[in-house]
């Protein structure tokens, strides 16, 4: 019994980082689906962050964001948001870790492509806000290979049977078998 418990504990210790990596990586979830635009500001009153938040409320800018598959992530005062919806603290910290940024006093704006490549649009202490048109221009200038990337198909959709030829017979589904007998209890 002790051996089984130790084996189970060892397996859980080995597998737990893999489960954690899947659950708390916001940029990894967007890979192939959208282009995250990450704004890291020292406060929520930052002119760049406020300007982008106000610009997204404009229907024309919102349509430009949707057309280019942009998703706005913002971090201000260690509070993260994705499209004006709060992120959990663990997801916010994972976002900051995932970007691997050093210390900075100013606002940073980073565009992450569908392929995961990072493009810094603004870095530093400049007080001038970043216009949405500059962001759209940066997205439009991305290489064609990045624009062709799509989200990977789920494995179930790829395994769906397709008829090869119109006259070909399809395999019959297998009959369900008899249920097996319950296992015998182990003796220690």
- For the chain, what are the domain ranges? 23-143
Q: Which position has the higher pLDDT, 8 or 136? A: 136
Please give the C-alpha separations between residue 32 and each of 5, 91, 115, 149, 163, in angstroms, as whole numbers.
40, 19, 6, 6, 29
pLDDT of residue 37: 85
Per-residue pLDDT of 100-117, as tens digits, reads 776 677 788 888 888 878
Per-residue pLDDT of 38-51, as tens digits, reads 888 888 888 888 88
pLDDT of residue 1: 66
Q: How confident is the model at residue 18 (pLDDT cuts 50, 70, 90)?
A: low
Phi-psi region of 71 (alpha: psi -120 to 50; beta: other; left: phi over 0): beta
Average pLDDT over residues 148-176: 57
pLDDT of residue 156: 47
pLDDT averaged over every residue in the chain = 75
Q: How confident is the model at residue 71 (pLDDT cuts 50, 70, 90)?
A: confident
Q: Is residue 20 over pLDDT 80? A: no
The residue whose two tokens read 């080995």 is: 14
Q: Is residue 153 over pLDDT 80? A: no
* Dihedral sign (CA 80, 45, 61, 147): negative
The model scores a pTM over 0.95: no
**Distance between CA atoms of residues 65 and 149, nearest Å:** 17
Domain 23-143: homologous superfamily in CATH: Glutaredoxin (3.40.30.10)
């Amino acid at each position: 019994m002790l051996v089984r418990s130790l084996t189970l504990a060892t397996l859980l210790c080995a597998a737990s980082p893999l489960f954690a990596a899947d659950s708390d990586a916001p940029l990894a979830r967007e890979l192939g689906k959208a282009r995250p635009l990450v704004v890291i500001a020292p406060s929520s009153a930052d002119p760049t962050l406020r300007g982008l938040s106000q610009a997204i409320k404009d229907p024309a800018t919102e349509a430009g964001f949707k057309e280019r598959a942009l998703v706005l992530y913002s971090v201000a005062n260690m509070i993260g948001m994705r499209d004006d919806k709060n992120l959990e603290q663990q997801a916010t910290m994972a976002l900051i870790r995932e970007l691997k940024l050093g210390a900075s006093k100013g606002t940073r704006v980073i565009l992450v492509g569908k392929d995961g490549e990072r493009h810094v649009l603004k870095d530093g202490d400049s007080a001038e806000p970043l216009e949405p048109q500059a962001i759209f221009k940066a997205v439009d200038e991305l290489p064609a290979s990045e624009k062709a990337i799509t989200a990977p198909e789920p494995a179930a959709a790829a395994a769906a049977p397709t008829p090869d030829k119109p006259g070909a017979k399809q395999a019959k589904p297998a009959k369900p078998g008899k249920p097996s007998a319950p296992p015998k209890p182990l003796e220690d």
